[in-house]
């Protein structure tokens, strides 16, 4: 009988730990919902963005090499509108001079990227506006406007069409856009019947313009496959559509992805621990592995913990610089909370 007490104590400790973890998770979700602007942005408005430079390694600011990436520059961003923030997906023009980001509050951000030589120094000519629904009005209600993923259909950032994925009310829609407008959506993309539940919807999209799966839309959800813990994903359309998974490695969660020159995929991942805090990882997936039934896996380009200047990193995009290097731009979702930041970081891929 005495042996039962340690087991009971262990069970109590485990239940307490997992209970605390769930409490932290639900509290974070609740705070994020409470902090988001309740009223949708009515129309596009110009904003000012203040950018403060940051070091990536605060203990060793001169260090630039991290894994297979070289740190170029980081900025902490402050927008002049209460609707600035919550950025969960990102697109960048081929020259790296313009960005479009979408927020999980149902808005878009446009801005020019200003450089000092090779190094990012600020954002200018910025504007934000609402994502429009089928009725031509700004999306309303948290469940309707929770935009999480973005991919341009043709790579043109000024005018064209983009695929946007939404959580809660799960859907992928094709959005016509120009410099002052996103939507109304022109069509909905047919989604699989399973693998999308609650707040664990599609987090990452990439329209594949190169490689063997050219013409397909790669979508990866936050939901995990029973038994393996792998993230559920799909190749939608293209030459060989079907389901696939992204291998679970170290408990990280997929938050975004982007296509690299040549067709490989860079997957951005996040992990949040009670003790370790926030971690970030970027993995490279070979274009040749993008096929139905595949378990996508790849070595890390970068993996860092809270010791480095990161936050809730949710958005990633790639472009080719004048010197031929592939540049990864990563952006964070501040959840509209004062204790979190809107960061933009740039890294060069050392190949």
pLDDT in tens, the chain (351 residues): 444 444 444 443 333 333 334 334 444 444 445 578 878 899 999 999 999 999 999 899 999 999 999 999 999 999 999 999 999 999 999 999 999 999 999 999 999 999 999 999 999 999 999 999 999 999 988 888 999 999 999 889 999 999 999 998 999 999 999 999 999 999 999 887 665 766 668 999 999 999 999 999 999 998 888 788 899 999 999 999 999 999 998 999 999 999 999 999 999 999 998 888 999 999 999 999 999 999 999 999 999 999 999 999 999 999 999 999 999 999 999 999 989 999 999 999 987
216 and 174 Cβ atoms separated by less than 8 Å: no
Whether 17 maps to a domain, the answer reads no
Backbone angles phi and psi of 23, in degrees to 5: -60, -45
Tell me which residue range forms the domain holding 121. Answer: 36-349
Q: What is the pLDDT of residue 35?
A: 74
Residue 3 lies in a domain: no
- For residue 250, how far is the Cα from the chain centroid? 19
How many Cβ atoms sit within 10 Å of the Cβ of residue 234? 21
Centroid of chain to Cα 182: 19
14 domain-assigned:
no
- Cis? peptide before 184, omega within 30° of 0: yes
| Start-end of H helices in 138-239 | none
Q: How many residues does the chain have?
A: 351
Give the model's pLDDT for residue 45.
Answer: 97
Please tell me the distance from the alpha carbon of residue 340 to that of residue 158, in angstroms, as a whole number: 30
Q: How many separate domains does the chain show?
A: 1
Distances (CA, A) of 225 to 17, 44, 222, 246, 351: 24, 40, 10, 10, 33
The tokens describing 55, both together, are 């070091």
Confirm whether 25 is domain-assigned: no
pLDDT for position 25: 44
Rg (CA), the chain: 20
β-pair type (69-79, 65-66):
antiparallel
* 1 domain residue, yes or no: no
103 exposure class (CB count in 10 Å sphere: 0-12, 13-18, 19+): buried
| DSSP state, residue 333 | -
- Angle (CA) 151-345-330 rounded to 5° is 25
The answer to whether residue 21 is domain-embedded is no
- As beta bridge partners, residue 300 has 283
Distances in Å between the alpha carbon of 60 and those of 54, 55, 65, 90, 302? 12, 9, 11, 29, 17
**Cα dihedral 169→170→173→179 (10° resolution):** 60
With respect to residue 82, please indicate whether it lies within any of the assigned structural domains.
Answer: yes
Q: Could you tell me the CATH number of the domain that includes residue 301?
A: 2.115.10
Give a yes or no: residue 18 inside a domain.
no
């Amino acid at each position: 009988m005495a042996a039962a007490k340690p087991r009971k104590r262990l069970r109590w400790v485990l239940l307490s730990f997992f209970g605390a973890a769930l409490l932290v998770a639900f509290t974070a979700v609740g705070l994020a919902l409470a902090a988001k602007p309740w009223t949708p942005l009515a129309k596009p408005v110009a904003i000012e963005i203040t950018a403060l430079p940051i070091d990536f390694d605060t203990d060793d600011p001169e260090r630039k090499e991290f894994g297979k990436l070289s740190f170029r520059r980081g900025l902490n961003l402050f927008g002049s509108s209460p609707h600035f923030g919550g950025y969960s997906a990102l697109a960048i023009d081929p020259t790296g001079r313009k960005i479009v980001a979408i927020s999980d509050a149902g808005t878009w951000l446009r801005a020019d990227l200003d450089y000092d030589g090779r190094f990012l120094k600020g954002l200018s000519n910025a504007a934000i506006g609402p994502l429009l629904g089928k009725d031509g009005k700004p999306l309303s209600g948290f469940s309707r406007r929770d935009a999480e993923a973005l991919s341009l259909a043709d790579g043109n950032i000024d005018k064209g069409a983009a695929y946007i994925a939404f959580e809660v009310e799960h859907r992928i829609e094709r959005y016509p856009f120009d410099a002052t407008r996103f939507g109304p959506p022109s069509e909905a993309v047919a989604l699989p019947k399973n693998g999308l539940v609650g707040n664990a919807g599609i987090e990452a999209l990439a329209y594949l313009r190169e490689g063997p799966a050219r013409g397909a839309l790669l979508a990866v959800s936050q939901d995990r496959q029973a038994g393996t813990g792998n993230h559920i994903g799909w190749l939608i359309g293209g030459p060989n559509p079907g389901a696939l998974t992204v291998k679970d490695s170290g408990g990280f969660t997929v938050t975004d992805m982007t296509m690299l020159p040549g067709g490989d995929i860079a997957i951005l991942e996040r992990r949040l621990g009670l003790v370790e805090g926030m971690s970030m990882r970027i993995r490279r997936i070979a274009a040749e592995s993008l096929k139905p039934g595949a378990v996508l896996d790849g070595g890390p380009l970068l993996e860092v913990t809270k010791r480095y200047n990161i936050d809730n990193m949710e958005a990633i995009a790639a472009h080719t610089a004048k010197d031929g290097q592939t540049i990864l731009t990563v952006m964070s979702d501040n959840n509209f909370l004062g204790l979190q930041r809107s960061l933009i970081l740039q890294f060069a891929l050392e190949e």
